[in-house]
Structure 1
Amino acid sequence: MDRATSVVYRPMMPRFIPSSAQCIALSSFEDRPDAALFNAAFGLLYGTGMYLNEMLLLRPIDVAFAERMRLLISGFRARTLPVPTGAADRLALLLGNESAGTEDASIFQKNGKTIVDMTVLKELKRRSRLFGFPNELGTTDLRIAFARDMAEKATPFEIIAHMMGYRSVNQLQAFLMRSAS
C-alpha cells in the first residue's frame, strides 16, 4: 500500500484553554525555591493579558502602588494596566523580596539573571502536565483565557483589546480566531 493512502484523517480537537480557577491555580505553586518569581509571572500573564516580553522587562519603577496596583507598560504598546488582587499580591510579595533587584533591573530576575522566555514556558508546560491538562500550555493560552474571562464579565471588547496591546477590536478578534484553530 502506498504511504499516501495509509494516512488516517484525524479531526483537529479544539485547543484546551484553562478556566479562570485553573489559571489561578497555575500561579499558586510553592514547589520550587523560586516559587514567588513564577507565581508572580503567571499571575501577571493571566491577570493582565500582557505579552511575555512585556512582563520580562517590567522594572520596579513600572509598578504604581495606589488604591489598586497598576503597571506602566512602555514601548510599542504603551499603556497602563490594572492588576487584579491575586496577581498584585504575588507581585508585591516578589517586590518585597530583597533579591528582586534594583529599580532599573527587571523584576523577573533570579540571582541577577533575567528569566528568559523558555524558562517561563518550560515551567508552564511542567505545571500543565502536573495538572493533567490535555495539552501543554503556552503563554498565548493564558492571554486567550484572559480575553475569554474578561468577555464573560461583559467587559467591552475595546477595553480588552487595549489591555492586551491591540490597536483595534479587529486585531483582537483576528488573534482569537487564529488561536481557535
Structure 2
Amino acid sequence: MLWTQFKKSRFSAKVFTLSLMSAGVLAVAGTAFVIQFLLKNDPSALHFEREVASTPEPPREVAAFTYSYEIKNISIPLATRDASRIAYAQFSLKLDLPSDEAKRSFTAHRARVLNTVYQVASEFYVEDFSPEKGGNYDRFKGELQKSLAGQFRAYSPRDLAIENWILN
C-alpha cells in the first residue's frame, strides 16, 4: 500500500512539474506573441526613451591634454648667415602634455629639454625670424615639437607655445 501511495505521489509530482514547465513555456510564448504584435502595428513601440537632463557639450576647443609644463626665460643664440652678428632670443616655452606622469618626466629631464631647444635653435639664423620671412615661428615650433617627440616618445607633447619672444 505504501508503494502505491509513493507511486501516486511521485506521479503527481511529475504532473505538477510538467504543469509548471508548460506554464513557463506558455508565458514566454505569450510574451513573444505580444512583442511580435506590437512590432507589426508600431515598430517604435518597444523603443523606450528615457528622459535625461541634457548637459551642454563642451566646446570643441577644449584640449584633450590638460597638463602644462613651462620653462621661463630661455635664451638662445642666433647668428646671422655670414656670422657677422649674434643676437639672443629670449622666450618662455609652454608644453601641453598628456598626463601628470609626463609632466614629472619633463620636470626631471629639464636639462634634456633645454638641450633639445638649443639643438633645434642651432639650425636657425637671425634672418629666419625677420618680419620679411614671416617670422618663421611656425617652422621653429614644428621642428622643436618633432625633436621633443623624438626625445620623449611616450610623453610626446601635443602642442607647444612660445610666449614673450624678444630678439635683441
**Whose Rg is larger?**
2
- Which structure carries more relative contact order (alpha carbon 8 Å, separation 6+)? 1
TM bin, normalised by shorter chain, reads under 0.3
Between structures 1 and 2, the one with greater strand share:
2
TM-score (norm 1): 0.23
